Structure 1
Amino acid sequence: MDQLLQQKPRQNFAGLWNISFGFFGIQIGFALQNANMSRVFQTLGSSIDDLPALWVAAPLTGLLVQPIIGHLSDRTWNRLGRRRPYFLAGAILSALALFLMPLSPAFGAPLLFAAAMLWLLDASLNISMEPFRAFVGDMLHTDQHAAGYAVQTAFIGAGAVVGSIFPWFLEQLGVSNLAADGGIPDTVKWSFWGGGLALFCAVLWTIVTTREYSPEQQAAFAHAQEAAPQHPVRALASKSYVGGALWIGAGLAVMLAVDRLALEKEVLLLGALLAAYGIISGIGIALARQGRSANMLSSIVGDFAGMPDVMKRLALVQFFSWSALFIMWINTTPVVTQYVFGSTDTTSAAYNEGANWVNVLFTVYNAVAAVAALALLPWLSRRVGQVMTHSICLTLGAGGFLMFVFVRDATLLLLAEVGIGIAWASILAMPYAILASNLPQAKLGIYMGLFNVFVVVPQLLVATVMGSIMQAFFPGEPVWTMLFAAASWLVAALAMQRVRAAIPS
């Protein structure tokens, strides 16, 4: 093959735009979910203490879906390509969930139906999102990875702005922001329906305007740029069953502690997940020892056990980064409505005014993220490097969370969102740019999917453990969750400094 064909062509701005435009639509879906689901659940009768349990569906689906989709997409090639079949399937299912969500009150168990739709929505968004992460690595040369993820982050921010501002904007147009007890306001209904249409159209744009490299072309690129991939299944066969047994024991201990220590029932899920990982690990080892290296389970478990060192160190950063984000998504509405607007009554005008202001706050941090991704992050990373850039941004975000603890002025909270938005931009760009440049191309999908474990696990911990902590120490006082969020981002900023040593010079 000609040497020129062994290097990925550089993409111009139009190419970068087309590759990532679908993420604009995906993030509209995530923004509608993040800014409105606590409001929907409370409107349908959920208490503040029950919110984490209802939200647990979202991260759990990501934990299950992303590694599987990553593994499958690495091995897919058909008329649509390698990643694009998953873009399309996820977009169709996401649009369906967004259409059905506002119809929850019409069903016999509206709260249960809304939770089921959240499960479907998050699973579907993850089906599209995970391949989009790998898609940037597939389509771009190494020296364009940072630019590619910066453009993707800008679209994430722009999509989140649109999704977050929908209810507030519709209210300005005269759409009703109040509903009868047990109903969902028209502003939320039309936001979900319009968001579903926008999501589908944006993803379709990327599908239509891009053409993926064939497996033969990708193999040529890999031959020119990287060493032969490792065989983690062989390494898995040499592992002991002791580790799996310890995970099972830890899971059982957690489940027993729920009754003994009177913990919240959601902690049972955490114990079950620990035990399930131990069981899956044991099965994967057994299959690997039998020489059955082609099965998906052993491949995923083997890749997880054999993660590159840079990915392991970034995993710790992700863990604390996303713990704070999930705290924010669950608790911003209760905090703002209770402490700034002075109401916990979901049928009151003050509560709904506060809930709409949360959409404005989320719009600001996402708008800041879109601008920071294209302006601040490239400038800062050229001067202090990607590692230090991420640490600085996380520290600014921690300052934003601290403002929620002390500030009671709605307008002043916009300043807090500036710091949070800068950190959000960095979280979406810096770790993925570092990973894409230091992972084997043939396994980019599965590694990006496994990296999501460290996005999901902290969210599950927040959804299961945070409720018990708040009930025990701060009942009815959700504002203290923001202090936990600030501490998490400060720890992540410090942990980021360990990543530098794992990046090949």
Structure 2
Amino acid sequence: MNKRKLSFWEIWNMSFGFLGIQFGFALQGGFMSRIFQTLGAEKDAIPLLWIAAPLTGLLVQPVIGYLSDRTWSTRWGRRRPYFLIGAILSSIALFIVPHSPALWVAAGFLWILDASINVSMEPFRALVADKLPESQRSYGFVTQTLIIGIGTWVASNLPWMVSQMGISDAAPSGVVPMSVKVAFAIGAFVFLVSILYTVFTTTEYPPEDMEEFEREKQKKNQFIPDILNNIGNMPLTMKKLGLIQFFSWFAFFTMWSLANPALTEHVFKTPVPVEASYDMELAESEEAFKLASTAFQKSSNDVGRYMGTYGLSSMAFALILTFYTSRKRINRKFVHMGSLILGGIGFISMYYVPSPEWLALSFTLVGFAWGSILSMPYAMLSSSVDPKKMGVIMGIFNMFIVIPQIIAAIGGVNFAYKLIGEETINAMIVAGISLIVAGFCNLLITNKDAITYNPKEV
């Protein structure tokens, strides 16, 4: 099918729903560990509590990719029904999760939230490949990254912004502060509205051969065989990208799960207080606990705010690449390699920052890696696979995102950082080393179509 080139605003409209998706992911990534700690979780238990996120991605994304490849509605298209269903469920979960009365409830809602976000997210990756000609693929994925950067920065700052408006960071023991509850409610609203914007401003191409499409759709019991067949016949470039993704996502899972305890302790010197350490029958001890708890919540706001910097720098990274890739070719391999190495340096620098303000620079470097992770692997992959299977291939590719996170969650990250020392800040050093390894793994990519694409050659 000859696909026409789309204008910037057409690509913007089809990608705008990612703003809401990233609000969900940024609130989850920046503040779920804080919620877990507030509800009494031990530091070493936090990665395991996060296992919901990668497990749901492993199960949901290939299924949604497979189903969306076989969906067509003259009114709603192929991918948009999944955007909408995921948005409704995600918004409900985002609103409820900070109101969790107990740790197990919060962990359960994380399962629901992450599964719902994945229902919306996977088809967005496939939509770029569906809608755009090869010459605009890098442009499309980078535009998504630009919107993701905006969402990451705003959502990561939401609890701090809400707190600045006078909504309290203080709360009784085991209760999430009102500032976090309001921030998650705003996130739920933005999630739903941004997805609706894309659903109603974007059209989709129908299947190229409708008769063949209907025949494929009528086949029974093909899901598992098709998934296994596609895994077995995975292109070599996809396997090499998978190795890069493994180390990249191990690093970012480490950040999402342990940055809050690591930085509140090491940089802000305000670890979460343990109620059992205070004699709550004494008024002065109770007051000391409240002060320590409020200090932890405020420094957690600041950790989220500084983490938001990586969304801002990834946005700047994406903006530069958006303008550049709309006119000229790039070497995707070397762009990705350099970005990941800079991100690794950013993580390692967190151990050495002399004051909290320096975290802005650390997370700026991390943002270069994040911006590249969200665009370059998908641009390289989309040039190496059958376009008719784009949804299921993108879903299978997600395995290389979730498997390292599962390994990290079930003890990998705790084991790795304790090889360096007992302090939780060592987890950020592990994240940095992992990103640098991922960067050098790009040297394995040799497929010329994956490495570079010249718009002038079309």
User: Shared fold (TM-score greater than 0.5)?
Assistant: yes
CA contact (8 A) 2:122 2:395 kept: yes
Q: What is residue 481 of structure 1 aligned with on the other side?
A: 427
Q: Does 1:56 align with 2:51?
A: yes
Once the two structures are TM-superposed, the CA of residue 345 in structure 1 deviates from its matched residue by 2.5
Aligned length: 427
Moved more, 424-433 or 335-344: 335-344
CA contact (8 A) 1:91 1:124 kept: yes
Q: What is residue 238 of structure 2 aligned with on the other side?
A: 311
Once the two structures are TM-superposed, the CA of residue 441 in structure 1 deviates from its matched residue by 1.2
Q: What does 1:90-169 correspond to in 2, within 5 Å?
A: 90-105=86-101, 110-169=102-161
Change (3 A) 1:89 1:383: closer
Q: Give deviations 1:27-60, integer Å, cap 9, x for gaps.
A: 0000000000000000011110110111111111
CA contact (8 A) 2:332 2:376 kept: yes
User: In the alignment, residue 86 of structure 1 is paired with which amino acid?
Assistant: Y
Q: What is residue 2 of structure 2 aligned with on the other side?
A: 7
Q: Does 1:466 align with 2:458?
A: no
Q: What is residue 499 of structure 1 aligned with on the other side?
A: 445
Q: What is residue 69 of structure 1 aligned with on the other side?
A: 64
C-alpha distance in structure 1 between counterparts of 2:207 and 2:386, whole Å: 14
Q: Does 1:173 align with 2:165?
A: yes
Change (3 A) 1:349 1:475: farther
Q: Does 1:83 align with 2:79?
A: yes
C-alpha distance in structure 2 between counterparts of 1:180 and 1:394, whole Å: 41
Q: What does 1:333-344 correspond to in 2, within 5 Å?
A: 333-344=260-271
**Superposed structure 1 runs of 4+ greater than 2 Å apart:** 216-220, 345-350, 376-384, 465-468, 470-476, 500-505
User: In the alignment, residue 138 of structure 2 is paired with which amino acid?
Assistant: A
Once the two structures are TM-superposed, the CA of residue 341 in structure 1 deviates from its matched residue by 1.4
Moved more, 64-73 or 373-382: 373-382
Once the two structures are TM-superposed, the CA of residue 331 in structure 1 deviates from its matched residue by 1.2
CA contact (8 A) 2:336 2:372 kept: yes
C-alpha distance in structure 2 between counterparts of 1:44 and 1:217, whole Å: 54
Identity of aligned residues (%): 43
Q: Does 1:454 align with 2:400?
A: yes
CA contact (8 A) 1:31 1:163 kept: yes
Q: What is residue 345 of structure 1 aligned with on the other side?
A: 272
User: In the alignment, residue 67 of structure 1 is paired with which amino acid?
Assistant: P
C-alpha distance in structure 2 between counterparts of 1:470 and 1:393, whole Å: 23
Q: What is residue 302 of structure 2 aligned with on the other side?
A: 357
CA contact (8 A) 2:37 2:272 kept: no
Q: Does 1:410 align with 2:356?
A: yes
User: In the alignment, residue 42 of structure 2 is paired with which amino acid?
Assistant: S
SS at structure 2 position matched to 1:405: coil
Q: What does 1:281-430 correspond to in 2, within 5 Å?
A: 294-346=221-273, 348-376=293-321, 379=324, 385-430=331-376
Q: What is residue 435 of structure 1 aligned with on the other side?
A: 381
Change (3 A) 1:300 1:491: same
Q: Give deviations 1:147-180, integer Å, cap 9, x for gaps.
A: 1011100011111112111000011110101111
Change (3 A) 1:72 1:57: same
Q: What is residue 195 of structure 1 aligned with on the other side?
A: 187
User: In the alignment, residue 16 of structure 1 is paired with which amino acid?
Assistant: I
Q: What does 1:196-235 correspond to in 2, within 5 Å?
A: 196-216=188-208
User: In the alignment, residue 457 of structure 1 is paired with which amino acid?
Assistant: I
C-alpha distance in structure 2 between counterparts of 1:218 and 1:120, whole Å: 35
C-alpha distance in structure 1 between counterparts of 2:410 and 2:33, whole Å: 16
C-alpha distance in structure 1 between counterparts of 2:170 and 2:354, whole Å: 24
User: In the alignment, residue 256 of structure 2 is paired with which amino acid?
Assistant: W
C-alpha distance in structure 2 between counterparts of 1:471 and 1:141, whole Å: 44
Change (3 A) 1:209 1:219: farther
User: In the alignment, residue 314 of structure 1 is paired with which amino acid?
Assistant: L
C-alpha distance in structure 2 between counterparts of 1:467 and 1:142, whole Å: 38
Once the two structures are TM-superposed, the CA of residue 295 in structure 1 deviates from its matched residue by 1.6
Q: What is residue 24 of structure 1 aligned with on the other side?
A: 19
Once the two structures are TM-superposed, the CA of residue 408 in structure 1 deviates from its matched residue by 3.7
CA contact (8 A) 2:141 2:375 kept: yes
Q: What does 1:250-261 correspond to in 2, within 5 Å?
A: none
User: In the alignment, residue 313 of structure 1 is paired with which amino acid?
Assistant: K
Q: What is residue 244 of structure 1 aligned with on the other side?
A: none
User: In the alignment, residue 6 of structure 2 is paired with which amino acid?
Assistant: Q
CA contact (8 A) 2:139 2:322 kept: no
Change (3 A) 1:350 1:312: same
SS at structure 2 position matched to 1:500: coil
CA contact (8 A) 1:339 1:408 kept: no
C-alpha distance in structure 1 between counterparts of 2:210 and 2:382, whole Å: 14
C-alpha distance in structure 1 between counterparts of 2:321 and 2:204, whole Å: 30
C-alpha distance in structure 2 between counterparts of 1:126 and 1:135, whole Å: 14
Once the two structures are TM-superposed, the CA of residue 378 in structure 1 deviates from its matched residue by 5.9
C-alpha distance in structure 1 between counterparts of 2:206 and 2:322, whole Å: 32
CA contact (8 A) 1:154 1:369 kept: yes
CA contact (8 A) 2:413 2:427 kept: no
C-alpha distance in structure 1 between counterparts of 2:124 and 2:336, whole Å: 22
